[in-house]
Amino acid sequence: MAPLATSMLASESFLTQDDIKSFLIANVALTIPGRVFVGMALDRFGPRRVFSILMVIMAIPTWFFAFGDTTTQLFISRLFMSVVGAGFVVGIHMTALWFKPKDIGFSEGFYAGWGNFGSAAAAITIPTVALHFFGGDDGWRWAIATSGIIMAIYGVAYWFLITDGPTPDTLKKSRKTGALEVSSWLSLWVYCLFIIPLYGILSVLVYRMQNTGFINEDIAIICYGVIVLLVISQIYKAISVNAPLLKAGISEDDKYPFSSVASLGATYFANFGAELAVVSMLPMFFQSTWSLDPTTAGLIASTFAFVNLWARPLGGYISDRVGSRRKVMLMYMIGISTGFALMGLLDSSWPMFLAICITISCSVFVQGAEGATFGIIPSVKRRLTGQISGLTGAYGNVGAVFYLFIFTFVDYSTFFFIIACGALMSWIICFFWLKEPKGAFGDEYHMSSVDRKIAEEES
C-alpha cells in the first residue's frame, strides 16, 4: 500500500492522511498474534499446508481492500491482511526442514534476505502496474487486486510443488499445539511473563488509533478489554498445556533451555524491531538534518534496507563457520549498540559521506544479527521449531511497535540512543541466558527420546 498511498489519496475523496496512518498501524497489528498462532500450526500440520492455506485465505482481505469504498472497509480489511506477515515464520520452519544444522545459518539468512528484497521489489513494481497496465483513478485498486490473485495462485502451487522436507519423516510434530512446551516450572513462569508484552503491545496500537480519532473512547475500552482477556487466556493455555507434562516429569534428554528462547526473542526485539522502526523514519532524518530533497533523502535512507540482501545471509554464514553461534550473536548485538550510538551523534556538522558509511555499517550488524538469530532457532528444540520461530518473530514486531511509539515522543538523536540501549540490554540478556544449542554444527539435528517416539508414532 505504501507506494500507492498518494494515488489513493488523489483518487478517493473520502480518504485523508490520518486514514493512511491508521491503515499503516493496522498493517502490523495482527502480525504479532498471527506469528504465534501460525507457529503453533506449523508444528502440528507442517509448513506446506499452513503456507498454502495462509496465502489463499489472505487473498480475500486483499481483494476487500482493493475494492473497499469506505474508510471502515479499508481499515478492517487491512487489519486482517496483517496476518500475512506470519508467512515469514513458515519459511523459517520450511528452511530448517530442508537444510542441515551446519548450513542452517546461511540458509535461513538467504531466505530472509530475499524476503526483504521481495518487499522492495514489490514497492517498485506495484506503482508501475497501477500506472501503466491499468491507469486511471482505479489503477491502484487493480494493482493490489492483482497482487492478491498472484498470492492465491502461488498458495495453490505451493501445495502441489513442495514437500515438508526431503523425506516423509522429516517433519517432527509437537505433542501439544495450544502453547509452547517448556521443561521446568521456572521456564513456565518466565514463558507466562513473556506472553504479557507479546499481546499487551497491541494496546499501543489502540492508543494511537484513539489519538488519531479513528476510534472513540468506548471502542478503545472494549479493545483494551479484549487484549486483557487475550493475555489471560494465553497464560491459562500455557499453564494448562505444560502443568500436566511437568507433573508427569520431563525426561532429561528432552529438556531444553527456555532461557535461550527468551534471549532470542529479546535479540529479535532489538534487531528486527529496530530495523522496521528505523526504515520508517530514516528518510525524514536525512531530509531534516541535512536539508535534502525528499527523493535524495529517500535514496540515501534506502541503503539501510538494501544491504539486507547480502548482510543477513552473511550473518548466518558467519554463525555457521565460527564454531559458536552464541559468540556470533553477542558480537552482532554489541555491534548494533555501537552503530546506533554513533548514529545518535550524527548532526548537520558531520560530512554526509561519513554519515552514510555509519548508517550502512550499522545496518550490516542489524541484518547480520537477524541472520544469526535464526541460525540458532532450529537447533534449540527440533520439534518446536515452528512455535519458537513464531514467538521470536512476533517479538520483532513487538519491538517495531514499541520503538515507533517511543519515536512519537523524542527527537532523532534520542531515538537512536534508545535503540542502542535496547541492543545493549539484549546483549546482557544473551550473555547470561543464551546457551549454545546441542548439535548446532552437525549433519543431523539433536533428537531426544520423546522426539524419536513421536516420529515412530507418526510413521
pTM: 0.85
| 243 occurs within a structural domain | yes
Between 431 and 124, name the one with better pLDDT. 431
The candidate with the shortest Cα–Cα distance to 90, out of 140, 42, 23, is: 42
| 453 occurs within a structural domain | no
Which CATH number covers residue 59? 1.20.1250.20
Q: What pLDDT score was predicted for residue 128?
A: 79
Give the C-alpha separation, 379 to 395, whole Å. 19
Tens-place pLDDT, residues 321-343: 888 899 999 999 999 999 999 99
Q: Which domain covers residue 225, as residue numbers?
A: 2-433
The candidate with the shortest Cα–Cα distance to 389, out of 109, 38, 81, 50, is: 38
Tens-place pLDDT, residues 238-291: 999 999 999 998 888 888 999 999 999 999 999 999 988 888 788 888 888 998
Q: What pLDDT score was predicted for residue 412?
A: 92
Is residue 365's pLDDT more than 90? yes
Q: What pLDDT score was predicted for residue 175?
A: 61
Tens-place pLDDT, residues 390-437: 899 899 989 988 998 888 889 999 999 999 999 999 999 999 999 988
| 395 occurs within a structural domain | yes
Is residue 457's pLDDT more than 70? no
Which residues does 112 contact at the CB level (< 8 Å), separation at least 6? 88, 91, 92, 312, 370, 371, 374
Label residue 451 by pLDDT band (50, 70, 90): low
Between 7 and 237, name the one with better pLDDT. 237
3-state secondary structure the chain: CHHHHHHHHHHCCCCCHHHHHHHHHHHHHCHHHHHHHHHHHHHHHCHHHHHHHHHHHHHHHHHHHHHCCCHHHHHHHHHHHHHHHHHHHHHHHHHHHHCCHHHHHHHHHHHHHHHHHHHHHHHHHHHHHHHHHHCCCCHHHHHHHHHHHHHHHHHHHHHHHCCCCCCCCCCCCCCCCCCCCCCCHHHHHHHHHHHHHHHHCHHHHHHHHHHCCCCCHHHHHHHHHHHHHHHHHHHHHHHHHHHHHHHHCCCHHHCCCHHHHHHHHHHHHHHHHHHHHHHHHHHHHHHHHHCCCHHHHHHHHHHHHHCHHHHHHHHHHHHHHHCCHHHHHHHHHHHHHHHHHHHHHCCCCCCHHHHHHHHHHHHHHHHHHHHHHHHHHHHHCHHHHHHHHHHHHHHHHHHHHHHHHHHCCCCHHHHHHHHHHHHHHHHHHHHHHCCCCCCCCCCCCCCCHHHHHHHHHHC
Q: What pLDDT score was predicted for residue 404?
A: 84
| 459 occurs within a structural domain | no
Label residue 102 by pLDDT band (50, 70, 90): confident
Mean per-residue pLDDT of the chain: 87
Mean pLDDT of 133-161: 91
Tens-place pLDDT, residues 283-315: 888 888 998 887 688 778 877 877 888 888 999
Q: What pLDDT score was predicted for residue 304?
A: 81
Q: What pLDDT score was predicted for residue 449?
A: 66
| 443 occurs within a structural domain | no
Crossing angle between the packed helical segments 294-306 and 258-290, to the nearest 10 degrees: 160
Mean pLDDT of 167-183: 75
| 449 occurs within a structural domain | no
| 442 occurs within a structural domain | no
Percent of all residues in the chain with a pLDDT value above 90, rounded to a whole number: 43
Is residue 221's pLDDT more than 80? yes
Mean pLDDT of 163-173: 79
Tens-place pLDDT, residues 200-214: 999 988 887 888 777
Domain count, the chain: 1
Tens-place pLDDT, residues 48-96: 999 999 999 999 999 999 999 998 899 889 989 989 988 988 988 899 8
